[in-house]
Amino acid sequence: MLLEGAAEHSYDADAKKFNFSSKPLKATHNRDAGLLIKSFYAKNRMLADTEDDAFLVEITS
C-alpha cells in the first residue's frame, strides 16, 4: 500500500520517523494555488464528498 504525504509508522511499517519535507510559502502564493485548483475542480466537475461522482486516473508514460 502506498500512502501520500508523511505516513505514520502506525499506518505504514516502512515509514521512517520524520520522513517528510515542508517549506514555508508566502500567503499570496498559497492563496493563488488554492484559487487555481478550485477553478480546475469546477471546470472539470470534480465534486467533493460524493460517491456518485467517482473517477479513475490513468497514468501513462
pLDDT at 30: 93
Q: How many CB atoms lie within 10 A of CB 6?
A: 13
Sequence-separated (6 or more) residues with CB below 8 Å from residue 49: none
Percent of the chain surpassing pLDDT 70? 66
Residues 1-26: pLDDT tens digits? 455 556 666 777 777 777 776 778 89
Residue 49, Ramachandran bin (φ over 0: left; ψ between -120 and 50: alpha; else beta): left
Query: What is the C-alpha to C-alpha distance for residues 55 and 41, in angstroms, rounded to an integer?
Result: 13
Mean pLDDT of 32-57: 78
Contact of 17 with 30, CB cutoff 8 Å: no
Query: What is the C-alpha to C-alpha distance for residues 9 and 12, in angstroms, rounded to an integer?
Result: 5
User: Taking the model in full, what pTM does it have?
Assistant: 0.44
